[in-house]
Chain A
Amino acid sequence: MSEALSILLTTALWAAVLRIATPLIFAMLGELICERAGIVNLGIEGIMTVGALTAWYCVYAGHGLWTAWLIAALVGALCGLFHGVFSITMAQSQHVTGLGVTLLATGLASFVYRIAVPGKATPPTITAFAPLDLPWLGHPLLAATAPTYLALALVALVAYVLWYTPLGLAIRLVGEHPQGAQAQGINVVAVRYGCLAVGSALMALGGAFLTTAAFNSFVINMVQGRGWMALALVVFGAWRPGLALLGALLYAGFDAYQLRLQTLFPGIPYQIFLMAPYLLAIAAMVPMARKAIGPQALMVPFVKGER
């Protein structure tokens, strides 16, 4: 038992926590922005996959890591705008359009990857982000990369914008009461499109982290439910960036810890350890969901002039 506890004191564990949490933080922030404006974006899993492929391919084709990130964000934003055409302009069910985006985006990513890398050879690798080693930022023991610090900074930025700026007020109003927002002279449709684009760009960056920082190659189906986990984190975090960040760190902590527990308890099938985070995520949603504090106009299409 003391062995299991002593793992908690190793820096390797905390380095792993940050590494596991980073893609979730990007994706969770992206989903949170969309949902605050009243749009559930179930395209998250697919948009992450597209981001992962885009960033990997850009580096593979010889561009710099940050250029790859910029392009991945742009492609992600395009996915968000595509989603918006159907969910905002055409006012279709957000569940359907979002899942459609996920299926289309994952299919397209696999298709493009197969064309880019024909044959079944081992996936080509790229040079990924190296751990940051600056005396004033990035403790070398944590071995975290620049995108991890970017993710943490973005949490603060998004929280600030949402609660302390007129833009944030407009976004929250659009998610709570679009007709009211309209009466205040806010362009509901523009706010929703903007949030979908920015949110989806962040999701794509979550995927980009997987290929350009966590691993150094693209594998089909590599997002493996991280998008859905981010969706759960938004609910767990009661649509607040800070709380959701805490959730992401808790989840990552558990994930990193179970990986090390597996080697300590070889008698227990490893699948049990892998199952636990999903079941915990469901359990953690229960107390939050009861309060029903989500944006009131979530999933309600906005039609001008209708109430």
Chain B
Amino acid sequence: MRIERRERVPAALLLAGGVGACLLLLVLGSLLIHSAGAPVAASWLALLKGAFGSRLAISEVLTRSTPLILTGLACAVAFRAQLWNIGAEGQLYAGALMVAALGSGALSLPAWLLLPTLLLAGAAAGGAYLLGPALLKRFLNVDDVVTTLLLNFVMALLVSLLIQGPMHDPLSMGWPQTAPLIDDGMLPRLIVQSRLHAGLLIALACALLVALVEARSSFGLQRRAVGLNAKAARFAGISTTRIAIWTALWSGGLAGLAGAVEVMGLRGYVTGDLSPGFGYTGVIIAMLARLHPGAVPLAAFVVAAVFVGADAMGRAFNVPSYIADVMVALSLFVMLGTSFLLGYRVKK
């Protein structure tokens, strides 16, 4: 038995693969729900209702998908150039801290100037945090997976240090959190009496921008060339150092923006639990979107719906909400499996 690559995939097969993948996920999810001792059909219904059943539910899914779009883009952008940035979580907090430092009264600017300044500062902080690992990789060949991962733990400790020490809000009683942003530093709400904020528009604009840059600009082309074959790219006269630096700023910047937007749109201050792993989920979202920036918002939306819906299901039937993490990770493997089966055929 051996496998060989298909020349082209027929449309009917593609459709069958997609349907099959969804059915498989449905079966696996049902097994999980069943093992938690909950009624399967009613639980799925609760998940759907929790994610899409009302205006509030949908706005909550959109709110949750906002940082995921940005961290998903951050990972997609890095992976396309073979920079294995698994540190979006740390870069997100770097952006959030920068926004909290500048936006809680340190800068007094009119709102139309303050908002872009804060967003840019957050992005810059995230980009700077990825610069170290990127340069270590480029010049000293240090494994980027390990450095970006370890820096997530360093950042978590830095956040804990700052929100308990120098950046602690004296008015927060004992709670470890930073001083809140001034009103001019907060992003406007998109729908009144919901948590949905203008950060969603920023995230979507970023997705559009990244998609355009990747597809149309020479920068995107060069990055892809470096990702496909760094040696050949260097031979063709592309400065891999320049690409490494800009890729780090580009990817880390998007992750930093995720943190900035979470603080400016939602919380108003930084706490240690600002992100429930948005950075790590971003890795999966980038893969589900198959590294296409244009597909990232859709992937982020679906993943956010699973998380929000699973919360509702958990409240209704006592299914542990960790089922969302399991389902999202399973969807990655089901996607990898189907695309393999579609791309290859088995020969006897």
Interface residues of A (CB under 8 A from B): 40, 42, 86, 90, 92, 95-97, 99-100, 103-104, 106-108, 110-111, 114-115, 118, 225, 228-229, 231-232, 235, 269, 271-272, 274-275, 278-279, 281-282, 285-286, 289-290, 292, 304
Contacts and interface: CB of A to CB of B under 8 A. Distances in A.
A87 B143 CA distance: 19
Nearest to A40: B145
Nearest 7 CB-CB pairings of A with B: A107-B325, A114-B320, A104-B329, A271-B161, A110-B322, A111-B322, A103-B329
Given A110-B322, A232-B150, 15 more contacts: A90-B340, A92-B336, A96-B336, A99-B280, A99-B284, A103-B328, A107-B326, A111-B32, A225-B150, A231-B146, A269-B164, A271-B161, A289-B140, A289-B141, A289-B143
With a 10 A CB-CB cut-off, give which of B84, B86, B324, B333 has the most chain A CB atoms. B333
Given A225-B153, A269-B161, A281-B150, A107 B322 contact: yes
Interface in B297-348: 318, 320, 322-326, 328-330, 332-333, 336-337, 340
Interface residues of B, number: 45
A285 B322 contact: no
B154 A275 contact: yes
Contacts of A115: 35-37, 320
A232 B145 CA distance: 10
A209 B19 CA distance: 43
A15 to B, nearest CB: 25
A111 B287 contact: no
Interface in B115-148: 136, 140-143, 145-147
12 contacts: A99-B284, A103-B328, A103-B329, A107-B322, A107-B326, A228-B150, A275-B154, A281-B146, A285-B142, A286-B136, A286-B140, A289-B143
Contacts, number: 121
B151 interface: yes
Contact of A104 (B136, B157, B333): B333
A95 B161 contact: no
B94 to A, nearest CB: 14
Interface string B266-294: 00000000000000100110010000000
A196 B18 CA distance: 30
A282 B147 contact: yes
B336 A86 contact: yes
B325 A110 contact: yes
A49 to B, nearest CB: 12
Contacts of B283: 96, 99, 103
Nearest to B323: A111
Nearest to A229: B150
Contacts of A269: 161, 164-165
A115 B280 CA distance: 24
B29 to A, nearest CB: 12
Contacts of A281: 146, 150
B158 interface: yes
B2 interface: yes
B346 to A, nearest CB: 11
Contacts of B157: 271, 274-275
